[in-house]
Each structure stands twice: as structure tokens, then as C-alpha cells.
Amino acid sequence: MTSTALAGETGKKLKDAAVLNAALSWSQELLDAEARRLDAAPAGVLSGTSVALKDNLVTTDHPTTCASRILQGYVSPFEATAVQRVRDAGALIAAKANLDEFAMGSSTEHSAYGRVLHPLDHARVPGGSSGGSAALVAAGVTTTALGSETGGSVRQPASFCGVVGVKPSYGRVSRFGLVAFGSSLDCISTFGPTTHHAAQLLCAISGHDPLDPTTRAQPPLAMPTAPKDLRGVVIGLPREYFPTDLHPGVRAGCDRAIAALRHLGAEIRDVSLPNTGLAVPTYYIVNPAEAAANLARFDGVRYGPRHIGPEGDVRALYRATRGQGFGPEVRRRILVGTFVLSAGYSDQYYRRAQAARQLIIDDFHRVFAAGVDLLFTPTTPTPAFKAGEKTDDPVQMYLADIFVCPASLAGLPALSLPVGRDQGLPLGGQLMAADFNEAAMLSASMALESVLDATAEVR
């Protein structure tokens, strides 16, 4: 298909899918400009594909709002490294995708521009915070999408929407141009309809970037191949991720996947990650602490709309701009983060959370050092939940991250792939690997995918 045809078709699909509220910014003019750019450039590995970008990745053509009123209409003077690499690889940038405000959430209900609808059941959420990206790929609007993970925000919506979501190791992909949320956790991550698609996009954006000193001095990830079988691969099942009260559909989906892994020749081993229970409380201290620090930059002086406030002094400017600009979840994180870092409390909360984070990291190291190549778990405790179900109870919302935030705290690569359906709703299985071992994880996912018909009902 020519770039012009792809731009036309993508515009039509975006229009038809408008009800999902998954795209915050797109226009046929920008799509056509993309087509002209592609026609003038050499072909690349992503030629012929369209990519949606979570709206916390800065772009010079579209505005970047982070789904917040505080950045309404903001246009970046520079482009994120990952976005530049996607363009250089020949992809058509299709749209900026909706998200939970500043990527805070697990349902994409916390967007200042309205919630995103689950493509298969509009009464449900697509997961979050990269729910717009996940929904666009699941609905077939774009070939792939970029999202961001701080604590599971690509794997969790991938699981809910029935697509593949891949979070790389921390430092594999440049964070330059990703609006900072939790700087020790943030990873740009990819969505695709299959592992192959998500892996190809990840390979294109990976590799060292002098503009982000936390990227590791490693060559870009090479595209893995699908193995014939998984003979010789040891896959651990951490018992903490399979509690006796696990949702029966989720369990059935995982059981099918585990049987398929065995069938492929993998050795399945029971393992333990004893500090898993600390992950959610640890994450919800470390994350708000970093968020509160990062979001201090939105002060009405440098970015977005400015509200002067009645007194007209600088404090009134901060109060009015931040008071009107930030939604409730963002305020909650700033309050919690400021509290856990404050004098007299930081030893009790922040420092203890850092110690707990180390215990979680040590658990993973121990298991991988004992000869386990990969870990397999459910991605989420339940299939997609109903809109409004958890918005009044932040702790219930936070618990949706229980299986995804450990790998984020440890900086490890992890992915979610569809393993079946429960009453029509997709179920995700998670693979996790040791630091910078994306290749083994992606290969295993390709093998598993080839033997699982992920649309099969499990109950």
C-alpha cells in the first residue's frame, strides 16, 4: 500500500473509531503530511505500518497534553528520541493516544478529556494508563502503538484489550521526550497485535541515546526469531502470583498457556518470589515521591495555560495554575509523594520503600541465578472491569497492578500476550526475563502464540 493510501485508510479508521475516545489528536492534514514525508524518505523496517503515540511522548506536529488540562494545547519544540526513531524507520505517525492524566492510573478513566472505551465492551475500561494506545491497536485502527510503563501501564491494558504489550529493560529505550513521571521506573513500551509487531517496534526504538544518560551503552535490540520449540528453556511459575482465590477465568487462561509451554518442551518449575506482596505498597510510595518531584515543573511559567490567581503574586500563580490544571489522581500523587518525602516521614516511608524495592529486586536475581530463564504469571488479577467500578476506591485501582509492578520496580523486561478469553473478554499471560534478556522473552512469546489460539474461551 502506498503511504498516501495508508494515510487515507488510517484517517477513515480513526473517524470510525471516534466513539472509543482513544485518540486525543489526529487530523487528515497531518496524516497526509506524514504520507508526503514518507514518500520522500527511504523505506525502513516499519514502512507500511501506522503507529499511535501515547500523548506523553513529545512531538513537534501534534500537541502533547498528557491528558491534562495543565498542558492543554502545549506543542513541544523538539521530538522524543523514540518518536524520531519510529519516523526514521518508515512508519506513519497516526495519532496521539488518550491516557490517564500524566500516566497515573490503571483504567484510562483519569483523562481530563474523557475516558477511553473498551473496544469489545463499551461499558468496560481498556486498562491504563496507556488505554488509548491499547484500544487503537485492539480495534485495528493502527498497526502498533507506543505506550509508557511506570508500573505496568502497557502490559495491563494489553491484557484487557487482547493485544501484546512489551516493556523493555530500564535503560533499553531512551526516555528523552517522554514526559517524566517516575524517573527510576519509566520505560517507553510497545503494543502490537502479535509479538512480532510489538518486538519490531521495540527493536526500532531501542539503543543508546546520548540525550538520555540512563540509556545503557548497548547496541539496538536485534529482531528475535520464532523458535521451533522451547526445549532447554526453564520457565518458573512464582507461586505468589497464583493465589488460591485467583479469578477462575484468569487461572484457566494461564493453565492453558502453561500446558502449551510444556507441550513446546519447556521445563516448568515452581519458584518463589517471597517479597511480591511488598510490591504494590512499595510502588505506591516510590512512584508518588518521584511524581511529586517531576510534576513540580508545571508551575504556569514554563508550560501550558497560565492562571494568575486573585492575589496576582507568584504563589497565587502556582495555586491557581496547579489547582485548575491537575485532576484528582494527580493531586493525590503529589500530596502522597510530598508527604512521604517530608522531613520526619521520609525515613518511615520513602527509605523503607527503597529497602523493600531492593528485596523485590533480590528475589528476581535469586530465581534467575538459580537457572530459571523466564517467569510466567497472569498479567492482571481479573479481565477488564466495568467503568466506574474502582474510581471511588484508589486502593482497589492500585491493586489492579499487583502482578505488573514488581518487574517495573526491578527494571526487568516483561510482556503480556493474549492467552484466551473469559466470557468474551481477553485474558493476558505475562512473561518476565532477567535484565536485558528481551530476546529470550520475545522468542518464547512467539512460540507460545503460535500454539495458542488466544481467542478460545477458557470457561
Site membership for ligand GLN, residue 289 (CB under 6 A): no
Q: How many residues bind ligand GLN (CB under 6 A)?
A: 13
Site membership for ligand GLN, residue 109 (CB under 6 A): no
C-alpha span between 410 and 367 (Å, rounded)? 13
Query: How is residue 392 annotated by DSSP?
Result: T
| Count of CB atoms situated within 10 Å of the CB of 183 | 14
Which residue is catalytic, options 76, 111, 129, 206?
Answer: 129
Residues linked to residue 416 through DSSP beta bridges, in sequence order: 165, 430
Q: Which residue, 137, 143, 188, 181, is CA-closest to 160?
A: 137
Site membership for ligand GLN, residue 131 (CB under 6 A): no
Question: Minimal distance in Å, beta carbon 86 to ligand GLN?
Answer: 20
Query: β-strands 414-422, 164-167: how paired?
Result: antiparallel
C-alpha span between 246 and 383 (Å, rounded)? 12
Among positions 55, 79, 101, 149, the unique one binding ligand GLN when judged by CB under 6 A: 149
Piece in contact with ligand GLN (CB under 6 A), picked from 65-73, 151-159, 200-208, 375-383: 151-159
Active site residue 153: yes
Site membership for ligand GLN, residue 174 (CB under 6 A): no
Q: Which residue, 74, 102, 6, is CA-closest to 332?
A: 102
Site membership for ligand GLN, residue 382 (CB under 6 A): no
Residues 6+ apart with CB under 8 A from 80: 57, 58, 59, 174, 176, 177, 178, 188
Question: Minimal distance in Å, beta carbon 446 to ligand GLN?
Answer: 25
Residues 6+ apart with CB under 8 A from 259: none
Burial of 270 (0-12, 13-18, 19+ CB in 10 A): exposed
Which residue is catalytic, options 3, 107, 111, 153?
Answer: 153
Question: Minimal distance in Å, beta carbon 153 to ligand GLN?
Answer: 3
Alpha helices in 141-206 (DSSP H): 155-161, 195-205
Q: Which residue, 210, 174, 215, is CA-closest to 83?
A: 174
Piece in contact with ligand GLN (CB under 6 A), picked from 67-75, 142-150, 200-208, 250-258: 142-150
Site membership for ligand GLN, residue 111 (CB under 6 A): no
Question: Minimal distance in Å, beta carbon 209 to ligand GLN?
Answer: 20
Do residues 10 and 92 lie in contact, with contact meaning Cβ atoms separated by under 8 Å?
yes
Residues 6+ apart with CB under 8 A from 202: 166, 168, 172, 173, 189, 190, 221, 438
Question: Minimal distance in Å, beta carbon 258 to ligand GLN?
Answer: 26
Site membership for ligand GLN, residue 190 (CB under 6 A): no
C-alpha span between 358 and 71 (Å, rounded)? 35
Among positions 21, 150, 159, 195, the unique one binding ligand GLN when judged by CB under 6 A: 150
Among positions 11, 90, 105, 238, the unique one binding ligand GLN when judged by CB under 6 A: 105
Question: Minimal distance in Å, beta carbon 381 to ligand GLN?
Answer: 13
Do residues 57 and 148 lie in contact, with contact meaning Cβ atoms separated by under 8 Å?
yes
Site membership for ligand GLN, residue 153 (CB under 6 A): yes
Q: Which residue, 407, 373, 188, 391, is CA-closest to 276?
A: 407
Among positions 65, 76, 206, 287, the unique one binding ligand GLN when judged by CB under 6 A: 287
Among positions 90, 132, 152, 309, the unique one binding ligand GLN when judged by CB under 6 A: 152
> Considering only residues 391-420, where is the footprint of ligand GLN by CB under 6 A?
401
Q: Would you call the peptide bond into 129 cis, given omega within 30 degrees of 0 as the criterion? A: yes
Cβ closer to ligand GLN: 115 or 256? 115
Cβ closer to ligand GLN: 152 or 309? 152
Residues linked to residue 53 through DSSP beta bridges, in sequence order: 96, 146
Residues linked to residue 422 through DSSP beta bridges, in sequence order: 425
Question: Minimal distance in Å, beta carbon 435 to ligand GLN?
Answer: 19
Active site residue 445: no
Cβ closer to ligand GLN: 262 or 331? 331
Cβ closer to ligand GLN: 148 or 200? 148
Query: How is residue 178 annotated by DSSP?
Result: B
Site membership for ligand GLN, residue 104 (CB under 6 A): yes
Site membership for ligand GLN, residue 65 (CB under 6 A): no
Residues linked to residue 415 through DSSP beta bridges, in sequence order: 166, 431
Site membership for ligand GLN, residue 97 (CB under 6 A): no
Site membership for ligand GLN, residue 151 (CB under 6 A): yes
Cβ closer to ligand GLN: 50 or 129? 129
Question: Minimal distance in Å, beta carbon 423 to ligand GLN?
Answer: 24
Cβ closer to ligand GLN: 127 or 238? 127
Active site residue 96: no
Site membership for ligand GLN, residue 98 (CB under 6 A): no
Helices and strands, number each (H, E), in the chain: 14, 11
Site membership for ligand GLN, residue 106 (CB under 6 A): yes
Q: Which residues are catalytic?
A: 54, 129, 153
Write out the residues near ligand GLN by the rule CB under 6 A.
103-106, 129, 148-153, 287, 401
